[in-house]
Structure 1
Amino acid sequence: MSIHEFIDREVKGNDVVVFMKGTPQFPQCGFSGQVVQILDHLGVAYKGINVLESDELRTGIKAYANWPTIPQIYVKGEFLGGCDIVREMFQAGELVPLFEEKGVPLHDRAIG
């Protein structure tokens, strides 16, 4: 399986997936940590994928969305954005309606 196929399978196979530095339990950069805090605060179940485990994955995810930074957040197979976009949407009160519109359930804790 190519890295593009792996990424595509993860993006399409999970309601919410975060390609991040580190894990949801132990983020390895401040931007990934902010995204984890926001999603956990909202009770969004998501899958975190650690791009630090593979250079191929780290470069592949940037090419997949044509987006140069990590973390990258996908909702129902669609690229949502990075940390800045998620933070701005959270502060503007736009994330919960987006998740509700996409049919993403909000719970009390996230999964790794």
Structure 2
Amino acid sequence: MSDVTSRIDDIVRNKDVVLFMKGSALFPQCGFSSRAVAILDHLGVAFDTVDVLQDAEIRQGIKEYSDWPTIPQLYVKGEFVGGSDIMMEMFEAGELQQLLTERQVAKAEDRA
């Protein structure tokens, strides 16, 4: 396992919900990342973000890690969920909320 793959794996496995995105939750740097943050904020879940613009190795490595070509990428309890479009489709169908509930993801206000 390469160093960047190991770093990504550590992040994905140790965070309940993590969004690899361009920018930060407070200042997304692309519309897709902004939409992904808005969905998670609307659902009120606690989540962490990784700004791929700050680390070129992570930016390329995450695409290889998930075998998914675009960013943002959402992971829940170690499992790749998808990008912005998939998040939107799942949200509109009620599937994203169901997934987060089933995986017992903490609400934002529950996060210490």
Scaled by the length of structure 1, the TM-score of the pair is 0.93
Aligned to 1:42: 43
In the alignment, the residues of structure 2 paired with residue 97 and residue 90 of structure 1 have an alpha-carbon distance, to the nearest angstrom, of 9
In the alignment, the residues of structure 2 paired with residue 110 and residue 52 of structure 1 have an alpha-carbon distance, to the nearest angstrom, of 26
Residue type matched to 1:10 in 2?
I
In the alignment, the residues of structure 2 paired with residue 91 and residue 110 of structure 1 have an alpha-carbon distance, to the nearest angstrom, of 25
- TM-fit CA distance, 1:107: 3.5
- Asked if residue 28 in structure 1 is aligned to residue 29 in structure 2, the reply is yes
Q: Percent identity?
A: 54
Aligned to 1:98: 99
In the alignment, the residues of structure 1 paired with residue 111 and residue 23 of structure 2 have an alpha-carbon distance, to the nearest angstrom, of 15
Q: CA RMSD in A?
A: 1.8
- TM-fit CA distance, 1:39: 0.2
Q: Which runs of 4+ in 1 moved over 3 A?
A: 107-111
Residue range with higher mean Cα deviation, 71-80 or 86-95: 86-95
Scaled by the length of structure 2, the TM-score of the pair is 0.93
- SS of the residue aligned with 1:79? strand
Distance 1:109 1:82, change over 3 A: farther
Residue type matched to 2:74 in 1?
I
Distance 1:73 1:62, change over 3 A: same
Distance 1:69 1:110, change over 3 A: farther
Aligned to 2:76: 75
Aligned to 1:88: 89
In the alignment, the residues of structure 2 paired with residue 110 and residue 31 of structure 1 have an alpha-carbon distance, to the nearest angstrom, of 25
Structure 1 gap ranges (5+): none
Aligned residues: 111
Retained in 1: the 8 A contact 2:63–2:70?
Answer: yes
